[in-house]
Chains A and B, each alone.
Chain A
Amino acid sequence: MDLLRFITAGSVDDGKSTLIGRLLYDSKNILVDQLEALEKQTKNKDAGPIDLALLTDGLRAEREQGITIDVAYRYFSTPKRKFIIADAPGHVQYTRNMITGASNANLIIILVDARQGVVEQTRRHSIIASLLKIPHVVVAVNKMDLVEYSQDIYNNILIDYAEVARQLGLKDVTYIPISALNGDNIVDKSVSIPWYDGKPLLEMLEEVETDQDINLEDPRFQVQLVIRPQTSDLHDYRGYAGKVISGIYRKGDKVAVLPSGIETEISKLEVSGVEAEEVFAPQSVTIHLKDDIDISRGDSIVSVNNQPRVANELDVVLCWLDEKPLQPGNKYYLQHNSRLVRAVVRNVEYKLDVNTLQQLPVDSGVKLNEVVKATIKVASPLVYDPYSSIQGTGSAILIDETSNNTVAALLLQ
């Protein structure tokens, strides 16, 4: 059994909460007491005996306002897979939440209302999916019941979306006609949509191939902490603990420590204190090196034959996440895995309209939910790869050094 993390994108009006509720309900992942609580709360009797959307409205503040304010995580499993759903609100102002939810997703379900077709919001969600390189996209055309399960309407939406996918270079796109409210094509194939010959949604989620999503080609590892017990029996023990971000490491591999550039060899590998001949992404491991080198948290250990970039000036796509606008010239902390360096945003080239992909001039600073192209200067060199080739070494955040808040998501170019 493996794990699939996905995000659902759409607004309340698209039936997103109902879809998630339906997946949990029909796959029998909602328990009796949760159902009873739902029945108590269900006020919208049009939604059936229970309003599945209520399942995902977590906080009282949200229930009072009838909106979702933050990313919530849901869990369900079938005999084939465990699923983690990042449930992110889809309104205009919530690009920040969508990026947060999408950052760990293997797959995105983009909900399209069959009555509306491809709209601005569909484009925005797709642009974010392409920016964050989510490997698999499922376009779920919802509310088919409200368009009399019309194949023509569905086909027209497909044609429109194919154009969006082409512009954005989205590769693995699957389409499915559903009605979350009625359960059409969610767990079982819908009898109302006989012309659809694909799989129902749950089966699709169970079977989407994710092995290729993990990069096993380029060995990347960053030291989280140095394990030095310094007890009498472990006097000389010195292990570099961290996560294999990508690739495979083997005992005896010739490696370089970056940014210093010193070369050495892997003398021992451990997983949870047990020796291993090889380790691979995304394992948490401990690496031992043949030579005694000064290595600390944030240093990278990579193959001598396959090295990342090392630079002080970085081109980035930056999404601003804070209420307080970006102050050009202010210093921030940049966190790149376990490496924390001081950084300053040098130059903001243009703003990206997340609805149209248009490049707009930056006239009035960078505000919450805005995506810009910028250059960043860091105080000591960063060891990284472009986000498009290795997500784990191509992503970073900015932290405001006065508020300590996470204020920006960075995709290194």
Chain B
Amino acid sequence: MSKHHLDYLEQLEAESIFIFREIAAQFEKPALLFSGGKDSITLVHLARKAFAPGKIPFPLVHIDTGHNFPEALAFRDQLAAEVNANLVVRKVEDTIRERKLTEQKGKFASRNWLQTYTLLDTIEEFGFDACIGGARRDEEKARAKERIFSVRDEFGQWNPKLQRPELWNLYNGRIHKGENVRVFPISNWTELDIWNYIRKEKIELPSIYFAHDREVLVHEGQLIAISEFIQIEDTDTVVNKTVRYRTVGDMTCTAAVESSASTLDDVINEITAARISERGETRIDDRVTEAAMEDRKKNGYF
């Protein structure tokens, strides 16, 4: 093999950096939507590389549902400081109060639906014309058909039938006033690619991605972290287990998996052997209906 050869991770990285630079060049006010999870941490890492030695030319925006893992929030602040990025935090709590929204009730009441309101308000507040997200096409069927540059109307809605054809690596980011574009620079990465890249680049992650002891509630086979955000009843089974997280979302809708994987190598071995996708295993919100994601995307969710 010639020395002028990129392996698959280097190819994916080169493509993602290219996309980041297109975003910076094509848009007036981009923003990186930062969730605190490994995918958005990888995005920050790629953005740093794309604009080095300069700083990332757009803010990190976190839509805070108020249901986050404290470890993820601490990590967010530390990372933003380390890369010297402008961090914008907008709270779903405030949107609920200001807009008099009705919160979901029930055992695992989630604010996942409501964060769309906060996101759209934030986009309007700052006039963001491009929002960069860490979605991957391997995550879910509806995502498999989404473009890397995905145009949303002024309601933030995605129309799968009216997507622009995306040819070669020509990304058309031209939009009308009021529209914005969601851009997904790691569309072509899989969960395993992300983990392998994190290992290769020695990217730091919040501790909850690795095995730790935690009090969890066992609900329909899933392990939900005990927190003030969920209702616990007398009949519930609460146990202490060694767990880790495959995805980091809200404490109410992200389940832990039993695991003793305490290093990156352990985690990668576990994922390679795993027979369940990360969304299927740990996202309670996707279990509701087959078309759950398609519906949420159409409504302005990522």
Contacts and interface: CB of A to CB of B under 8 A. Distances in A.
Interface stretch (B118-126, B168-176, B227-235): B168-176
Contact of B12 (A3, A57, A216, A335): A3
Interface in B12-66: 12-15, 17-18, 21-22, 24-25, 48-55
B288 interface: no
Nearest to B192: A77
B163 interface: yes
B8 A1 contact: yes
B48 to A, nearest CB: 8
A2 B7 contact: yes
A204 interface: no
Given A58-B145, A100-B165, A297 B25 contact: yes
29 contacts: A3-B12, A31-B274, A31-B276, A32-B280, A34-B280, A59-B294, A60-B291, A70-B160, A73-B144, A74-B138, A77-B192, A81-B8, A82-B8, A84-B188, A100-B166, A104-B169, A225-B21, A227-B54, A229-B55, A234-B54, A237-B53, A243-B14, A272-B17, A272-B49, A273-B48, A336-B170, A399-B174, A406-B164, A409-B167
B5 interface: yes
Contacts of B172: 335, 397, 399, 404, 406
Interface in B154-204: 160-161, 163-170, 172, 174-176, 187-188, 190, 192-193
User: Interface on chain A toward B: helix, strand, loop, or mixed SS?
Assistant: mixed
B18 to A, nearest CB: 5
Contacts of A61: 160-161
A282 B164 contact: no
Interface in A1-26: 1-3
A197 to B, nearest CB: 28
A321 B25 contact: no
A399 B174 CA distance: 9
Interface residues of A, number: 70
Interface string B96-140: 000000000000000000000000000000000000000001100
A406 B165 contact: yes
Contacts of A118: none
Which of A71, A84, A225, A396 gathers the greatest number of chain B CB atoms within 10 Å?
Answer: A225
B168 A395 contact: yes
A23 B172 CA distance: 32
A74 B161 contact: no
A99 interface: yes
A321 B166 CA distance: 11
B141 interface: yes
A93 to B, nearest CB: 14
Contact of A321 (B1, B160, B165, B294): B165
Contacts, number: 172
Chain B, interface size category, equals: 35 or more
Interface of B: 1-2, 4-8, 10-15, 17-18, 21-22, 24-25, 48-55, 137-138, 141-142, 144-145, 151, 160-161, 163-170, 172, 174-176, 187-188, 190, 192-193, 274-277, 280-281, 290-291, 294
Contacts of B187: 73
B168 A103 contact: yes
Nearest to B22: A224
Contacts of B164: 405-406
Nearest to B166: A100
A122 interface: no
A223 B22 CA distance: 10
A338 B26 CA distance: 9
Given A225-B21, A242-B21, A284-B14, A211 B2 contact: yes
A3 B168 CA distance: 16
Given A225-B21, A284-B14, 7 more contacts: A33-B277, A58-B141, A75-B190, A82-B193, A225-B24, A335-B170, A406-B172
Given A395-B170, A397-B172, A59 B145 contact: yes
Nearest to B160: A59
B170 A337 contact: yes
Interface string A353-387: 00000000000000000000000000000000000
Contacts of B274: 31
Contact of A58 (B10, B142, B161): B142
A283 interface: yes
A391 B54 contact: no
A310 interface: no
Contacts of A337: 169-170
Nearest to B140: A58
A395 B167 contact: yes
Nearest to B24: A225
A73 B164 CA distance: 15
Contact of A225 (B8, B25, B49, B160): B25
A175 interface: no
Contacts of B170: 335-337, 395-397, 406
Contact of A228 (B54, B160, B190): B54
Contacts of B142: 58-59
Contacts of B141: 57-59
Interface string A160-177: 000000000000000000
B7 A1 contact: yes
Contacts of B22: 224, 338
A283 B142 CA distance: 30
Nearest to B193: A82
B52 A273 contact: yes
A241 interface: yes
Interface in A276-290: 280, 282-284, 286
Most buried by A among B53, B161, B165: B165
A69 interface: yes
B171 to A, nearest CB: 8
B287 to A, nearest CB: 9
Given A60-B294, A77-B190, A273-B52, A406 B168 contact: no
A84 B24 CA distance: 26
